[in-house]
Amino acid sequence: MRQSIMDAPGKIRFLDVPVAPPAPDEVQIRVRQIGICGSDIHVWHGHHPFTPYPVIQGHEFMGVVAAVGAAVVDPPAIGANVTALPQIVCGTCNPCRKGRFNICENLKVRGFQADGCGREFYNVPADRLVPLPEAFSLDQGAFVEPVAVAVHACSRAGDLSGRNVVVLGAGTIGNLIAQVAKARGAGSVLITDVAPHRLEVARRSGVDHAADVRRTTLADAARGAFGPAGFDLAFEAAGAEASLASAVAAIEKGGTILIVGVYGKPPTVDMAVVGEHEVVLAGSMMYWKEDWLEAVRLLDGKIDIRPLVSRHFDFADWSDAYRYIDSNGAEIMKVMVDVG
């Protein structure tokens, strides 16, 4: 089979390797399509602090069941559509013992600290497998992982019904958070960015309000969107200090800000305002399996990912996909790699 490998930043090559049979507790997946995300791009540039090289990339994907290990209980049908969680957790640390596997002290993520799905056949433990509807497109299947990130972030915020929500950052994750929040009953959602293309994609995705925060302030945009009611929940998905600072300043007293973005350098936050306004700052990190199952349900009719797919590349042209992303910046949302 063909298997990709990134030997060093910016250097992907392809090997011809034998197909490994699944272990007794594993399922073998024939990988069909892989999505590229922001973290993958950091690895391509050598800017991902926790990824050693060489690495087999790929953690957002759809495939079909090719073989099943002898000890798998409830074996999936050969040919069934599937995807799989990339987390490898220890099961024994304090967070794991509390069921919070996503923040395992010894977490490894396939595609970063362990081998990912950038190959024609990929073996995963059966308990990581997530079945997908037969009618799912390859794009829908490859979107389960990022939608699960959005589902987990929304779950961390509690009940969303009727609430006014701000999402800062209209990249793929911000867009999906806005869509998941709506699907979970949020009253009105305002999304902000500095890239007109991303705001346009958000509008096409059905987000209620989209504001360019180069032209207006968050506070003014929120007044325009929500009137005097304001907002008491924000998701910071831009990973930018100015964005976080604007949320802290504009959110209703007692409001909650979920931190979803990744910050290149530690942001400065006005903790006096956080303290006096009883603002809750809460983190959100990847997802649980339950989030994946809900992501599948939402992708089955409640969330539209079609406006987010920018372009497809052949497996052999994975490097070109990165070059395309590099040269098109904020004009790009999700780029897909077609494996087979």
**Kind and range of the H or E element at 274?**
helix 271-276
> Of residues 257-276, which lie at the interface with Zn ion (CB under 5 A)?
none
Choose the binding region for Zn ion from 37-45, 160-168, 175-183, 289-297 (rule: CB under 5 A): 37-45
Is the Cβ of residue 93 or residue 281 nearer to Zn ion in the bound state? 93
Least separation in angstroms between residue 37's CB and Zn ion is 3
DSSP bridge pairs for 324? none
Is the Cβ of residue 96 or residue 257 nearer to Zn ion in the bound state? 96
Least separation in angstroms between residue 104's CB and Zn ion is 3
- Using the rule CB under 5 A, is 104 a contact of Zn ion? yes
- Tell me if the bond preceding 24 is cis, omega within 30° of 0: no
Burial level of 60, CB count in 10 A (0-12/13-18/19+)? buried
- Using the rule CB under 5 A, is 281 a contact of Zn ion? no
Is the Cβ of residue 64 or residue 90 nearer to Zn ion in the bound state? 90
121: amino acid identity, one letter: F
3: amino acid identity, one letter: Q
Least separation in angstroms between residue 142's CB and Zn ion is 10
- Using the rule CB under 5 A, is 37 a contact of Zn ion? yes
Outline where DSSP puts E strands in 133-245: 164-168, 188-193, 209-212, 233-236
Q: How far is CA 319 from CA 10, 12, 309, 314, in A?
A: 7, 6, 18, 10
> Of residues 61-100, which lie at the interface with Zn ion (CB under 5 A)?
89-90, 93, 96
Least separation in angstroms between residue 30's CB and Zn ion is 21
Is the Cβ of residue 179 or residue 188 nearer to Zn ion in the bound state? 179
**Kind and range of the H or E element at 248?**
helix 241-250
Least separation in angstroms between residue 101's CB and Zn ion is 7
Q: Residues interacting with Zn ion, by CB under 5 A?
A: 37, 89-90, 93, 96, 104
